[in-house]
Amino acid sequence: MMLNADTVLFAVLGDPVSHSLSPVMHNQALSDVGYNGVYLAFRVKDIGKVVSGIKALDIKGASITIPHKVSVIPFLDELDDTAEKIGAVNTIINRQGVLTGYNSDCLGAVKAISEKTAIKDKDVVIIGAGGAARAIGFGIISEGGRVTVLNRTVGKGEKLARDLGSEFQHISNLKKTKCQILINTTPVGMIPDTDAMPVKSDDLEKTMVVMDVIYNPLKTRLIKEAENIGCMTIDGISMFVYQGVFQFELWTGKKAPVEVMKKAVLKRITS
């Protein structure tokens, strides 16, 4: 990769961000299509100041990750219709100083789940109440699924459930909740705390399809425990790559090399 005065800058903004494989995925894709750009990771606490920096430095696009997917919104100039309905942003594009927020988590999750099972008329339990949960919940409902939000913090969980028009249960009530598809949207189980699980092993049923949005490690403890009892599982790679494909094409105007992006991520995780 040749860096010069014309190199376009992209970034992922979050806290923590050291685990992110977005730079690996996007830099490989940029190289593959011959686009003069580079993608970097920045650990960010004050998202408002950093959004101002996007304009000042003419950063063309940014990925937004935990914990800024909702708090970033007031600092943007415009929102895409889907992002506005969801109330969470994971993608920013800078068009001549006008920052527009999008949400590709929704699309990524729906594609990943649909590869394995139908969503329509399914009882889907979403663990967590952050930006990813909000986006995925919106996607599931749009596809005709029924959502129940499970969260430890009652107030936050109830608010998301109200916003989605869905049910809420405390996370301890999973056993009592109808669940055909279980989706973890929390960071519980992410590197370095890989022994952690968002629910108890005993709460899992072999009839469930279990998805974890965490992609590093590739197989979280939740996924391993689900596989051990015979569940169909969906790791976080597909959702991660599909949301990245949307970002890449939005930012560059070029068709994303999907398989190249997936291989780059898998190579880094398994190496």
* Active-site residue set: 69
CB neighbour list of residue 119: distance below 8 Å, 6 or more residues apart: 110, 113, 140, 143, 144, 145, 181
Tell me the C-alpha distance between 101 and 93, whole Å.
Answer: 7
Cα angle value 10/85/222 (rounded, 5°): 70
Strands 91-95 and 98-102: antiparallel
User: Could you give the CA distance from residue 174 to residue 183 in angstroms, rounded to a whole number?
Assistant: 12
Cα torsion for 247, 249, 255, 259, to the nearest 10°?
A: 0
Measured CA to CA, the distance from residue 124 to residue 121 in angstroms comes to 9
| Strand residue runs (E) in 52-113 | 61-64, 78-79, 91-95, 98-102
- Pick the closest to residue 73 from 91, 60, 97 (CA basis): 91
